[in-house]
Structure 1
Amino acid sequence: MQYGEVRWRERSRLVRTWRLLRTRRPRSFTDKVRYKMLRDHRDLVVTFADKAAVRRYVAAAVGEEVLPRALALLDDPAELRALDLPERYVVKPTHGSGAAIVVSPAAAPDSVLPAAEHGWVYRHVRPSAADRDRLVAIARHWVGQLYGQGPNREWAYGLVPPRIIVEEFLASPGGGIPDDLKFFVFNGVCRFIQLDAGRFGGRTQDFFDAEWRHLPMSGGPAWADPLPSRPARLEEMIGIAERLGAETDFVRVDLYDLGDRVVFGELTSYPAGGDSPFEPASFNLVFGKQWTVPRRYR
């Protein structure tokens, strides 16, 4: 993907210089994300962004048993047509975040695949609705798009080879979509945990500290009612997250607790592209206080 297709301000040197000056003394979490986006150009950040390459990193750091089973890695989206896939599977781009087509009988009966031009979509459909031609069209649209807006924003995604990865469907103990647990790891120490539930209906979101004490804050969606109980594998998941975040100043580690095993989701260096909402806003500083950004990334 060429940066020439990116909006001018996301590739302008003048804009970059202005943003570097504006973020030189960051205090809040969102400002530190922007600081990192502009200054941390290590290969490690690109590895974290790459849904295929990160699998090798995870296997080396914590063991391949935490990885979801990969069914295919495709350079050409047209290869999706000929794949012999199970009833349940997930299709994702390697060079983006938050986009996936989840296929399983647990999807709502009226859920359908979107038009390809809808972009970075996240959709859950039944096998009968997973038309292969439509899947190919969506995947082609993904590989033709630059995620992250350009060199002045989430630049790392622009260096990831655009491919399609197909993985096993991860099911909760009840057979549905599992809760998404996101661990905020600062210099190898987990400080906060975000739990997202009901992604495809009745979504809730709760934040906790590392001792599973609920935080009186919101990132947008409503709190669960009743509040989620402490996961049985919490200590194991924190240990995995801290090992995965040991080599960097900050990364968010997404994991799933499937009951019989913990499974890796993704590593995110730039949550919400530096625009995470905090309500009340004071928690932006609470999160930021845990993060010591280096003067220079090496």
Structure 2
Amino acid sequence: MLVYYLKKSIYKFLSAISKEMFLKFQFRRLVGYRLNLKSPKTYNEKLQWLKLYYRDEKMSQCADKVEVREYIKDKGLGDFLNEVYGVWGDVDDIDFDRLPKQFVMKSTHASGQTIICRDKSTLNIEAAKKKMKKWLKTNLYYFGLEWVYKDLQPRIICEALIYSKDTYPPKDYKFYCFNGLPKFILVASERNGHNAKMDYFDLNWEPIDMRQGGDRSGIGILKPSNLEKMIDIAKVLSQDFPHVRVDFYNEDGKILIGELTFFDSSGFAKFEPEEYDRLIGDFLLLPKKV
């Protein structure tokens, strides 16, 4: 998740004056060029347009890590969900004694808030609870006006730990979908906090020479044997939306749906080379204003 270096109160003040002016200010500061909302052309510009002028209540449902599970089940894809050990609105209600040795804690209403526990006997429970209590006080909406997060109920979800073959968390396969069609894939690997290696591929698993924040891994990331299945699932989950990123885990051939993201990097991440901002923007056909 991007860090914006402004206090939440300042965000509230600026966004209350004018959402358009707030996003133009943030966009110029973080992306480096003027935001055109009247005739957006680039991917980042179109994400800002969607923040301001498009609403679909299903998007808020799918931004919530608990509620999205019902959406996925309704699509007939419940078998691809990870196991959940519990959901809590109050951190003090969590009974750590009842949790297994290994697990993952996440906030349900934001992004990038994760505690990975590989051995509960070494977990500093009080420190973990303190961190999660801070999570419950955050509202991601005020950092980039991603309206899907604004009214979500802050909760903590505990899921099964997904095992990987190295010391890093499992690779994250992110499918960028436009009007129900996946167009390209980002594989995030060697993740350590907010740092990760980023490798882009087309649907034939040919590398794309593009960057947006992270360095490439420098190693050959193997094409998953069940890539076509992930593509098929991404098509089903994205068919209701003009744009969504569908994330998967895929360890030892077992596909698990991670999350659905509607505003990649909040539309504030620079592309290298810059022309990809426009090329990807061409994929995104903006709907009518709602």
Q: Work out the CA distance in 1 between the residues paired with 2:101 and 2:155.
A: 22
The verdict on how the C-alpha distance between 1:166 and 1:238 changes in structure 2, with shifts beyond 3 A counting, is same
The letter of the residue matching 2:178 is: F
Cα deviation for residue 128 of structure 1 reads: 3.9
Percent identity between matched residues is 26
Please say if 1:10 is aligned against 2:15. yes
The verdict on how the C-alpha distance between 1:25 and 1:295 changes in structure 2, with shifts beyond 3 A counting, is farther
The verdict on how the C-alpha distance between 1:208 and 1:257 changes in structure 2, with shifts beyond 3 A counting, is same
Give the gaps of 5 or more residues in structure 1.
105-125
Q: Work out the CA distance in 2 between the residues paired with 1:226 and 1:82.
A: 39
Q: Work out the CA distance in 2 between the residues paired with 1:93 and 1:142.
A: 7
Q: Work out the CA distance in 2 between the residues paired with 1:82 and 1:230.
A: 38
Kept after mapping to 2: 8 A contact 1:80/1:132: no
Kept after mapping to 1: 8 A contact 2:102/2:120: yes
Cα deviation for residue 5 of structure 1 reads: 8.2
Residues 68-111 of structure 1 show CA distances to partners (whole Å, capped at 9, x for unaligned) of: 1110010111122445111210111111011110111xxxxxxx
Kept after mapping to 2: 8 A contact 1:220/1:277: yes
Higher mean displacement: 50-59 or 166-175? 166-175
Kept after mapping to 1: 8 A contact 2:177/2:235: yes
Please say if 1:278 is aligned against 2:283. no
Kept after mapping to 2: 8 A contact 1:72/1:166: yes
* Aligned equivalent of 1:122: none
2:204 aligns with one of 197, 205, 211: 211
Residue 75 of structure 2 aligns to a residue in which SS? helix
In the superposition, the TM-score normalised over structure 2's length comes to 0.87
Cα deviation for residue 166 of structure 1 reads: 0.5
Cα deviation for residue 237 of structure 1 reads: 0.6
Residue 38 of structure 2 aligns to a residue in which SS? coil
1:78 aligns with one of 92, 95, 112: 92
* Aligned equivalent of 2:251: 258
1:29 aligns with one of 30, 43, 46: 43
* Aligned equivalent of 2:160: 168
In the superposition, the TM-score normalised over structure 1's length comes to 0.84
CA RMSD of aligned residues (A): 2.3
The verdict on how the C-alpha distance between 1:205 and 1:295 changes in structure 2, with shifts beyond 3 A counting, is same
The letter of the residue matching 1:266 is: E
2:151 aligns with one of 159, 177, 180: 159
Please say if 1:51 is aligned against 2:65. yes
Residue 190 of structure 1 aligns to a residue in which SS? strand
* Aligned equivalent of 2:135: 142
Kept after mapping to 2: 8 A contact 1:184/1:252: yes
The letter of the residue matching 1:131 is: N
Q: Work out the CA distance in 2 between the residues paired with 1:134 and 1:81.
A: 15
The verdict on how the C-alpha distance between 1:186 and 1:167 changes in structure 2, with shifts beyond 3 A counting, is same
Q: Work out the CA distance in 1 between the residues paired with 2:176 and 2:192.
A: 23
* Aligned equivalent of 2:216: 223
Kept after mapping to 1: 8 A contact 2:19/2:52: no
Residues 246-291 of structure 1 show CA distances to partners (whole Å, capped at 9, x for unaligned) of: 0000000010111241001110001111112210110111111111
* Aligned equivalent of 2:3: none
Q: Work out the CA distance in 2 between the residues paired with 1:15 and 1:37.
A: 9
Kept after mapping to 2: 8 A contact 1:183/1:193: yes
Give the gaps of 5 or more residues in structure 2.
1-7, 25-34
Kept after mapping to 2: 8 A contact 1:81/1:133: no
Residue 199 of structure 1 aligns to a residue in which SS? strand
Residues 53-82 of structure 1 show CA distances to partners (whole Å, capped at 9, x for unaligned) of: 001001111421111111001011112244
